[in-house]
Amino acid sequence: MAQKTVPEQPKVAIYARQSVHEEQGIKQQIDDCLREASYRGWQVVGTYPDDGTSGSKERGPGTNWAKLLKDFDDGLFSAVLVNDVDRLTRNLTDVLEVRPPKRDIRVLTVRGGIDTDDPTHDFSLKLLVLMAEREVKQKAQRTQRYSVERRKLGHPTAGRTPHGYRWVPDIARDEHGTRYRIDPDEAADVRYMFSEFLSGASLGQIARDLNTNGRRTRAGARWLNTTVRKCLMNPQYAALLAPSQETGKFDIASIDLAKCSPGAWEPIIDEATIAVTRGRLVGVKPNHQGNARRWLLPGIAVCAICRDPVQSARGETHPTSRVDGSGKAESKRYHAYRCVNGHFMRNGDIIDEYVSEVCIAKLSEPDAIDLLAPREDGIDIALLNSQRAALDRSESTISSLIVKGKMNAKAAEEALDELAEQRRAITAEIARTVSTDPLAEVVASGNARAWWEDASLARRRAVVKVLMTVLIKPVGKGKRITRGEGEEAFDAVEPTVGFEWREKRERS
């Protein structure tokens, strides 16, 4: 009696795919396939996951789908195992890649029990894919119609939510269907970026200050010039819905603000601010070299002997042995300033504190307003701020009149457009004034110490550069300058740091 031949078990590759990233989606597919392979006694030679990959569009050379086809051609396996037919593909063209005459890959599924070694299953596979392809096209048509209606109502897509907002799921939306909700902590980062940039800070300095303050992107990454730039160019922060762009070819710089429509969510900054900011960034080549600083005076202060700008450095203490014979104290590193020609290297923290106090005292004098550079156009930043606040009140009044039925829609729209134009002009002038003359904002604040303590490093440096030239003097080898207490806090520092005041300000 002849022995029964046992069919050879196939070597299988597991393929898993999902169009939208979901933490457990791919893992569950692979786990299901591994259990099925173990039950059938199939040898698994590898897994090929494609996360965030559409099954109805062409999959390029960088995908695991392309790698799977290449590995089959190299003879690594004879069958592909998927959880379900639609995880393999939703496009009949892909089926023709794996089935004869081009290739003869045996297709196996966990669900539905497809095995193309059976000719009827080969027909079922193609039929199921055709049905899936038809469903995709119908869904695309429904989505397009829905997209038009969604945009009319001012709602954004469900894509990546900008830093500063949180996506509101359908079940938690209000009666207006609002999809963006302001995140207070992240919104503070956004306002900080716009405020600092319009005050003259570089993108690199803004990124460094955010990182120094322990702020991170939503993904937990450090801020970079590029990520700050993208935020500053995003019209969504002014509750503006940009025109749709071709999938995969989004370009934030090409957005025309005039073609944006009002968004149905609360703005973090006003439209005028985004207009001014984009005006400074669009068409300007990004500077990836950066000029961010960590300390107050590098490149600003000069050596009192050679007049070359001082640089920051890291000093280290060298303790001597204790008198009681118990050894040496632990060596410590500290922030320092050094002359590039070797005239000194000094503790920078004490100098920074002293210069800060001198600046605050100067800006707190009754005649501090005289420090402002004279302007031929007579611009007054305090007046500009009050005018912008008045425009905000006028906008609220118009909204109230509409609600009460005392103003028709057309008149209200014309009035609001005029207010928006006025606000844009005022914001642009404020930004130009502050960046041209950094003292304008601190003098207008009326409280120099409070302004200084809240100000970023970039703003403090700008004020120092406008007010004075700081001269740092050598103190002699082995000598230490320490800060005292109370009224004598800086008595030891004062003789070692000089100032050349810029009393005569040029016209801007």
The pLDDT score that the predictor gives to residue 316 is 64
Residue percentage of the chain with pLDDT more than 70: 79
308-332 pLDDT, tens digit each? 988 888 766 566 666 666 666 676 7
Strand ordering across the sheet containing 345-347:
311-316, 333-338, 345-347
Strand partners, 51: 18
Strand spans (E) along 198-332 = 240-241, 261-262, 302-303, 311-316
The pLDDT score that the predictor gives to residue 141 is 62
pTM of the model: 0.50
Please state, in angstroms and rounded to a whole number, the distance separating the CA atoms of residues 401 and 407.
Answer: 6
Q: Burial level of 403, CB count in 10 A (0-12/13-18/19+)?
A: exposed
Please state, in angstroms and rounded to a whole number, the distance separating the CA atoms of residues 189 and 228.
Answer: 10
Count the helices and strands in the chain (H runs, E runs): 15, 14
The pLDDT score that the predictor gives to residue 187 is 93
DSSP 406: S
Confidence of residue 21 (pLDDT cuts 50, 70, 90): confident
Please state, in angstroms and rounded to a whole number, the distance separating the CA atoms of residues 405 and 456.
Answer: 46
Tokens of 506: 């040029």
- Is residue 507 predicted with pLDDT exceeding 50? no
Tokens of 395: 């906008």
Mean pLDDT of all residues in 259-274: 86
- Is residue 273 predicted with pLDDT exceeding 70? yes
CA nearest neighbour of 233 among 278, 298, 168: 278
CB atoms within 10 A of CB 504: 6
405-458 pLDDT, tens digit each? 777 777 777 777 777 777 777 776 666 665 666 677 777 677 888 888 887 787
The pLDDT score that the predictor gives to residue 383 is 66
CA nearest neighbour of 77 among 86, 85, 68, 66: 68
Q: Write down the residue that tokens 């007579």 correspond to.
A: 378
Task: Give the angle 8-13-15 at the CA atoms, nearest 5°.
Answer: 145
CB atoms within 10 A of CB 222: 12
The pLDDT score that the predictor gives to residue 245 is 62
Confidence of residue 43 (pLDDT cuts 50, 70, 90): very high
171-183 pLDDT, tens digit each? 888 888 888 999 9
Tokens of 332: 């410590």
DSSP 13: E
Strand partners, 307: none
- Please report how many Cα atoms fall inside a 13 Å half-sphere around the Cα of residue 403, on the Cβ side: 6
Q: Distance from CA of residue 424 to its chain's centroid?
A: 24
Q: Is 125 helix (H, G, I), strand (E, B) or coil?
A: helix
CA distances from 23 to 28, 88, 127 (A): 10, 19, 31
The pLDDT score that the predictor gives to residue 336 is 86
The pLDDT score that the predictor gives to residue 147 is 59
Q: What topology is assigned to 165-246+253-281 in CATH?
A: Hect, E3 ligase catalytic domain fold (3.90.1750)
The pLDDT score that the predictor gives to residue 47 is 94
Q: What amino acid is encoded at 247 in this protein?
A: T
The pLDDT score that the predictor gives to residue 143 is 56
- Is residue 384 predicted with pLDDT exceeding 70? no
| 376 vs 355 pLDDT, higher one | 355
Q: Is 106 helix (H, G, I), strand (E, B) or coil?
A: strand
Q: Write down the residue that tokens 């014979």 correspond to.
A: 325
Is the link from the previous residue into 243 a cis peptide, with omega within 30 of 0? no
444-493 pLDDT, tens digit each? 677 888 888 887 787 788 888 888 899 999 887 767 776 666 566 687 88
The pLDDT score that the predictor gives to residue 508 is 38
Mean pLDDT of all residues in 262-280: 85
- Contact indicator for 283, 174 with CB cutoff of 8 Å: no
| CATH no. of 11-134 | 3.40.50.1390
Mean pLDDT of all residues in 74-103: 87
- Please report how many Cα atoms fall inside a 13 Å half-sphere around the Cα of residue 416, on the Cβ side: 17
The pLDDT score that the predictor gives to residue 271 is 81
The pLDDT score that the predictor gives to residue 377 is 53
Mean pLDDT of all residues in 227-236: 92
Residue percentage of the chain with pLDDT more than 90: 19
Domain boundaries, the chain: 11-134, 165-246+253-281, 293-317+333-373+437-508, 374-434
395: left (phi over 0), alpha (psi -120 to 50) or beta: alpha
DSSP 174: -
- Contact indicator for 30, 63 with CB cutoff of 8 Å: no
For 366-394, give the secondary structure using H, E and C. CCHHHHCCCCCCCCCHHHHHHHHHHHHHH
Tokens of 340: 């590039």
- Contact indicator for 280, 289 with CB cutoff of 8 Å: no
- Is residue 293 predicted with pLDDT exceeding 70? no
The pLDDT score that the predictor gives to residue 48 is 95
Mean pLDDT of all residues in 110-129: 84
What rounded mean pLDDT belongs to the chain?
Answer: 80
Strand partners, 16: 49
Number of residues assigned to the chain:
508
- Is residue 25 predicted with pLDDT exceeding 60? yes
